[in-house]
Structure 1
């Protein structure tokens, strides 16, 4: 549900260079709508609800960007993409940004000509198995069948892990998370492998989640990040600093509950004032007005609020903050200064 590997993809690279020639920020403003690429459906991250409205952790970032640029968090066309189609959709200009469980790697950044705008979720690849299988470690999966999405670094990580540990497996190729769920629940594979966040999301949709176990091994680093095309630094800055605004707001204590009060008048916290636009001209530097970050935060709350609502321990997904806690709380989240 991420990470397609397209080394030497001349078509994608060529499309990227051409599409980036246009100023995306101007295009989005003129269109009056943000085209945001998301997954085909991963509960907690990006999936339509019962009313057909897209909801989730990644969806919230799209809404924050739309609010910052267009003053309307609903002015979005959500474009579902698979692991194989997401990069072509971005490179061709079909979407303005991709917020879809995509791992930041050197080849994607450099060879495929994309620009990652900051990590919004620190993850790692793991395994899920039925509790009835009686397995407590990935090293016990010798000879197992494993459902894995094709054309991804998940597939490569899986091969590396089993080779390193001198054990064998039989891959069961899948194209989408929905297909993976179906195959896994049907018993077509002994284990399902993808990012741990994706496994937690998948398990939460099962009729009996307690019948399935996430094994303890984390076999890779998966810094998941939104991305845009190379060659359009102004647009990359908008997406990057919108994410930073959500992170900085949590650290500064700006919430959806108090943002109105804090922005009503400039207080004695200079960085809060600069984030909310009551001091300085940071918005002008981005080609936006001074309340861009305020609107982004109001769209769904700060980073912590978005995390807890969609995937946190109080949600059906049940993820702890872990590495995704603020740096002040032992995590890796850290925004550069707003000044």
Structure 2
């Protein structure tokens, strides 16, 4: 982790261009360069036609629709845990949406801005079902596959020391290599965000029924977008696209009815969808920015359901990712 932070901090000064107004750069280029993973089921992974799909990918499309009026104008840049932050610092990408945990050090030390949380997760463990492991303490003495350059490495060591158990990390530079190693039996367990583990079992396991994700999690993993410090306008755009998707779900605005709601919906929908209030103009955007975004991907609930919820292979419950008035933590700052 220390090496990662030092390398990332050094990259802050790589190019003055990265400090330019990102909105202007994106408009001049005509596409949004969006950093995503090299393949996390449910978040950003290529489908059978080679199209990048997932919750993070839909956020990229929503931002492109809001800024450029066209959700297809996205260039997805696949990044590893090691190069994701330097790619953003150097200006290679405009926004990072790659299952990235928000932490104190990432906020204070590497020249980046953390946007609002778009998925609440926790670090978990996958094991073979026939190992009869019930909880983390049952892994004492186990080898654990873990990805290099992630918060999971640090948390794994913290938990082992706190519980006075032995967990032997087997570190991999790439997540796909880690999956191959675990399913080939090179490790007793594999640790990652619980959502990513569920995706790995559903898509990469030779037989998903042979494995289980332990119910116990060992950390808070708030995931969300990252932008560069010093460009408040762009950071605000990325943040308010998220709030807009959540506000749309609260207000009953969907991908199917957004156009109609822009004409006849309640006051909050009128403001959100650009009919009143000139909200887009205050961000330097067309006032139909959120209408374009919602018509492209739907509201937050639709994005969740399609990619990681009941309509997906992961079938994750909303849980903490439910709306605040339904027992979850998703809460949009009011559009007023």
Question: Is residue 143–residue 189 contact of structure 2 (8 Å, CA) maintained in 1?
Answer: yes
Question: Is residue 35–residue 96 contact of structure 2 (8 Å, CA) maintained in 1?
Answer: yes
Partner Cα distance (2:70, 2:142) in 1: 49
Q: Which residue of 2 aligns with 1:220?
A: 219
Matched position secondary structure for 2:301: helix
Matched position secondary structure for 1:289: coil
2:190 maps to which of 189, 192, 203: 192
Count of aligned residue pairs for this structure pair:
334
Question: Is residue 12–residue 90 contact of structure 2 (8 Å, CA) maintained in 1?
Answer: no
Q: Which residue of 2 aligns with 1:300?
A: 297
Counting only pairs closer than 5 Å after superposition, residues 272-283 of structure 1 correspond to structure 2 as: 272-283=269-280
Could you tell me how far 1:13 is from its partner in structure 2?
2.8
1:71 maps to which of 66, 69, 72: 69
Q: Which residue of 2 aligns with 1:182?
A: 180
1:312 maps to which of 297, 300, 309: 309
Question: Is residue 104–residue 222 contact of structure 1 (8 Å, CA) maintained in 2?
Answer: yes
Partner Cα distance (2:151, 2:3) in 1: 6
Partner Cα distance (1:55, 1:150) in 2: 24
Q: Which residue of 1 aligns with 2:131?
A: 133
1:101 maps to which of 99, 102, 105: 99
Q: Which residue of 2 aligns with 1:291?
A: 288
Q: Which residue of 2 aligns with 1:22?
A: 20
Partner Cα distance (1:19, 1:208) in 2: 48
Q: Which residue of 1 aligns with 2:318?
A: 321
Partner Cα distance (1:216, 1:278) in 2: 46
Q: Which residue of 1 aligns with 2:50?
A: 52
TM-score calculated relative to the size of structure 2 = 0.96
Question: Is residue 19–residue 91 contact of structure 1 (8 Å, CA) maintained in 2?
Answer: no
Could you tell me how far 1:255 is from its partner in structure 2?
0.5
Matched position secondary structure for 1:282: coil
TM-score calculated relative to the size of structure 1 = 0.96
Change in CA separation of 1:272 and 1:5 when aligned onto 2, cut-off 3 Å: farther
Following TM superposition, the consecutive aligned residue runs of length 4 or more in structure 1 with deviations greater than 3 angstroms are none
Could you tell me how far 1:120 is from its partner in structure 2?
0.4
Superimposed CA distance per residue, residues 40-66 of structure 1 (whole angstroms, 9 cap, x where no aligned partner): 011111011111111111000000000
Partner Cα distance (1:12, 1:217) in 2: 37
Partner Cα distance (1:74, 1:35) in 2: 12
Q: CA RMSD in A?
A: 1.4
Partner Cα distance (1:62, 1:163) in 2: 39
Could you tell me how far 1:7 is from its partner in structure 2?
2.7
Partner Cα distance (1:291, 1:226) in 2: 22
Question: Is residue 199–residue 314 contact of structure 2 (8 Å, CA) maintained in 1?
Answer: yes
2:108 maps to which of 107, 110, 131: 110
Superimposed CA distance per residue, residues 122-168 of structure 1 (whole angstroms, 9 cap, x where no aligned partner): 01101000001111111111110100112221001001111111111
> Which stretch has the larger CA shift, 93-102 or 131-140?
131-140
Could you tell me how far 1:4 is from its partner in structure 2?
9.3
Could you tell me how far 1:211 is from its partner in structure 2?
1.3
Matched position secondary structure for 1:250: helix
Could you tell me how far 1:19 is from its partner in structure 2?
4.1
Q: Which residue of 2 aligns with 1:156?
A: 154
Question: Is residue 256–residue 295 contact of structure 2 (8 Å, CA) maintained in 1?
Answer: no
